[in-house]
Structure 1
Amino acid sequence: MTTTAEENKRIARRIPEEILTEGKLELIEELFAEDAVDQAPLGKDTGWDEIRAGMETMRAAFPDMNATVEDAVSEGDTVAMRITLRGTHEGEFMGREPTGKPIEVGSMIFTRIEDGKIVERWAQPDTLGLFQQLGIVAPPTEQGGAEHSS
């Protein structure tokens, strides 16, 4: 079964809109191939159990997560999406205790679909921006000329 570009966009959008935002983790088996690979800067998850665990971790750290699809483009078997993630850090994340801080992070997601199932997914969030918002990494200081006293 070959899917159209519009069908592929609909499938790809369900991850941020239904799984991340609405918490419908039971959709993983419906949307992903059993041996699918989900890759992100913090690691690679292979298969339904690992993908579910990765999404559970994000939802536990940011239980009010909202993922907005800003743009989606589909060509061939691949869908490219620009999304914005918003939420509040209310659970442990990367060994860090909750800060209660709100986050807003842009992300690029590329999803490859075969026979109506997601087989590969690459997420490229603004990890540095996320770390700065959570206080894991200090934001850059203002750049400019050094002040000299004469």
Structure 2
Amino acid sequence: MASAEPRTDNKRIARQIPEAVATAGDLDLIDTICTVDFADHSPLGEVEGREAFRQQMEGIRAAFDDFSATVDDVIAEGDTVAMRVTLRGTHTGEFMGIEPTGEAFEVGNMVFTRIEDGKIAERWVLPDMLGMMQQVGAVDVPER
């Protein structure tokens, strides 16, 4: 029977982006925990490479100066880690061309992370963008 240790280590590695990079702002950690050809797939666009990912994270942290990502659940199987994450923040800077509204948001986010040789090689991220945009006052949804 295979040891659970690699899955536990993969969980620890995957959690570092939401906890240390996104929430704590340790953007230098990206160079340590991500592969050179790292890829991130999200509604914000396809990101290839560590520097492009760093720039994307800088933009998010500038748009939401109190941004946080709380890991609620983590499941690992093979080289993949699945996480349910709660995102929070206050819209204090431009985001996706939308001027700051000063409104706060709290939404769910699903993240699948692929680990390769102890580093993050690829992520698929699916936050509740509609919920976030509604909460910060950027979009209205018609009432039924």
Same fold by TM-score greater than 0.5: yes
Residue 98 of structure 1 deviates from its aligned partner by 0.8
2:90 corresponds to: 88
Paired residue type of 1:23: G
> What is the number of equivalent residue pairs in this alignment?
140
Helix, strand or coil at the partner of 2:17:
helix
C-alpha separation in 1, matches of 2:79 and 2:65: 31
* 1:38-95 residue CA offsets vs partner (Å, 9 max, x unmatched): 1101201100110101111100001111111000000000000000011111111011
Q: TM-score, normalised by structure 1?
A: 0.90
Amino acid at match of 1:20: A
Structure 1 runs (4+) greater than 4 angstroms displaced: none
**Aligned counterpart for 2:80 among listed residues 78, 81, 93:** 78
The match for 1:31 is: 33
CA contact (8 A) 2:88 2:107 kept: yes
Give the C-alpha shift of residue 131 in structure 1.
1.2
Q: Matches of 1:140 and 1:84 in 2, distance apart?
A: 25
Equivalent position of 1:59 in the other structure = 61
Provide the C-alpha distance between the structure 2 equivalents of 1:140 and 1:10, rounded to a whole number of angstroms: 41
Over aligned residue pairs, what C-alpha RMSD do you find? 1.0
Report the TM-score, using the length of structure 2 for normalisation: 0.94
In structure 1, how many angstroms separate the alpha carbons of the residues matched to 2:26 and 2:141?
Answer: 34
What are the Cα deviations for residues 83-119 of structure 1, in whole angstroms up to 9, with x where unaligned?
A: 0011111111011111110010110000000100111
Judge conservation of contact 2:103–2:137 (CA < 8 Å) in 1: no
Letter paired with 1:138: D
* Equivalent runs, 1:1-150 vs 2, <5 Å: 4-141=6-143, 143=144
Alpha-carbon distance in 2 for matches of 1:43, 1:67: 19
Q: Which ranges of structure 1 fall in alignment gaps of 5 or more residues?
A: 144-150
Match of 1:148 in 2: none
Measured after TM superposition, the shift of residue 122 of structure 1 is 0.6
What amino acid maps onto 2:120 in structure 1?
Answer: I
* Structure exhibiting the larger radius of gyration computed from Cα positions: 1
